[in-house]
């Protein structure tokens, strides 16, 4: 299969969370939330988030589909040392690739990681079940038609974990939140030159706090949404159950135009622009039941 260029402009993104433990309720997924905020800040439209099991067919189907539809695909989970960590092999198979020991990653692993205290006799040069398990984490999908350095990115000097890049736009990250977040944050400089807005201004969200119920502001918001849609601005309305004030939002990249709408929106919803949606909540705002 021909790989996509990894130099294409990034407009859209998708997130694939892989793990039986998430679907089984054992682990709470926070990585998709982090990615959503990350993309929002860069002006990338996150179009889809999916959670799937550690199943080869499910991984293959989802990653092929996402790679073909979105510019920037991030997977989370399934790249550890155990038998159920099958993300690398499944994504390789999805694109007709083989797994290959990534020597730079292995060298970094040896230099930057330490054997577990329960493995006192572990040796990097002696074949053992423990070494085999560790090697699973540095056997990456490999495309002989692409430069090796474009297929595994090292974005932090103190981490051995690479971000494997497959088919030009699929970025394979670990599921451990602190590693996922650190690697994604350090990937940012690689992404900025490929953004629609390379200056990294991102997307803006304006929050308006209103005492009115949604039914009262709906006509105004309907007209406002039609007015601002040509400018790429989206209008949102969010009830805050149990609170006396609700939230209206404007989301878009044209900050100057959004600034020009503030007075109009404040008047239309009888509210006020705020930094945080609970900014105007009264101290005892706990007993009110929201009415639509």
At 4 the pLDDT is: 40
pTM: 0.81
pLDDT at 203: 84
Q: What is the CATH number of the domain that holds 235?
A: 3.30.70
What mean pLDDT is reported for the chain?
Answer: 91
* DSSP calls for the chain: -PPPPTTS-B-EEEEEEE-HHHHTTSS---HHHHHHHHHHHHT-EEEEEEEE-S-HHHHHHHHHHHHHH-SEEEEES--SSSTT--HHHHHHHHTT-EEEE-HHHHHHHHHH----TT-TT--TTS--HHHHHHHGGGEEEE-TTS-GGGSEE---TT----EEEETTTEEEE-S-HHHHHHHHHHHHHHHGGGBSSTT----EEEEEEESS-HHHHHHHHHHHHHHHGGGT-EEEEE--TTSS-EEEEEEES-HHHHHHHHHHHHHHHT-EEESSTTTT--TTTTSPPP--
Question: Could you tell me the CATH number of the domain that includes residue 53?
Answer: 3.40.980.10
pLDDT at residue number 220: 97
Q: Is the pLDDT higher at 19 or at 285?
A: 19
- Domain end, chosen from 168, 194, 220, is at 194
Domain with 107 in it? 12-194
Tell me: the pLDDT tens digits for 148-190? 889 999 999 999 999 999 999 999 999 999 999 999 999 999 9
Q: Do 173 and 216 fall within a single domain? A: no
Residues 136 and 70 both lie in one domain: yes
- Asked whether residue 1 is domain-assigned, the answer is no
The answer on 190 and 209 residing in a single domain is no
Q: What is the pLDDT of residues 7-57, one digit of tens each?
A: 689 999 999 999 999 999 999 999 999 999 999 989 899 999 999 999 999
**40 plus 83 within the same structural domain:** yes
For residue 286, pLDDT beyond 70: no
290 in a structural domain: no
Indicate whether 2 pLDDT > 70: no
Is 265 a residue whose pLDDT tops 90? yes
Q: How confident is the model at residue 284 (pLDDT cuts 50, 70, 90)?
A: low
Same domain, 62 and 90: yes
Residues 163 and 257 in one domain: no
Same domain, 167 and 59: yes
Judgement on whether residues 61 and 157 belong to the same structural domain of the protein: yes
Q: Say whether both 145 and 35 belong to one domain.
A: yes
Q: Does residue 280 sit within a domain?
A: no
pLDDT at position 288 is 47
Residues 136 and 262 in one domain: no
| pLDDT at 287 exceeding the cut of 80 | no
Shared-domain flag, residues 186 and 230: no
199 within a domain of the structure (yes/no): no
- Total domains in the chain come to 2
Q: Is the pLDDT of residue 5 over 70?
A: no
pLDDT of 276 over the 60 cut: yes
- Domain shared by 44 and 157, yes or no: yes
């Amino acid at each position: 299969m021909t790989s996509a260029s990894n130099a294409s402009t990034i407009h859209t993104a998708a997130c694939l969370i892989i793990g039986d433990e998430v679907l089984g309720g054992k682990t709470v997924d926070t990585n998709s939330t982090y990615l959503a905020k990350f993309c929002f800040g860069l002006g990338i439209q996150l179009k889809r988030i999916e959670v799937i099991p550690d199943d080869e067919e499910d991984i293959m189907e989802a990653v092929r589909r996402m790679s073909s539809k979105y510019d920037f695909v991030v997977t989370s989970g399934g790249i550890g040392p155990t038998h159920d960590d099958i993300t690398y092999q499944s994504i390789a198979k999805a694109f007709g690739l083989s797994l290959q020991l990534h020597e730079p990653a292995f060298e970094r692993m040896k230099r930057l990681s330490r054997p577990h205290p329960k493995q006192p006799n572990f040796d990097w040069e002696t074949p053992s079940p423990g070494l085999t398990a560790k090697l699973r984490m540095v056997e990456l999908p490999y495309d002989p038609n692409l430069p090796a350095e474009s297929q595994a990115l090292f974005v932090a000097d103190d981490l051995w974990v690479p971000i494997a890049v497959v088919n030009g736009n699929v970025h394979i990250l670990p599921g451990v939140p602190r590693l996922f977040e650190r690697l994604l944050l350090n990937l940012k400089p690689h992404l900025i030159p490929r953004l629609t807005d390379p200056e990294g201004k991102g997307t803006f969200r304006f929050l308006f706090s209103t005492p009115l119920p949604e039914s009262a502001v709906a006509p105004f918001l309907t007209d406002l949404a039609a007015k601002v849609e040509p400018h790429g601005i989206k209008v949102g309305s969010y009830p805050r159950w149990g609170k006396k004030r609700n939230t209206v939002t404007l989301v878009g990249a044209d900050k100057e135009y959004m600034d020009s709408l503030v007075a109009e929106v404040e008047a239309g919803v009888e509210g006020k622009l705020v930094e945080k949606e609970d900014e105007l909540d009264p101290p005892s705002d706990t007993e009110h039941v929201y009415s639509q």
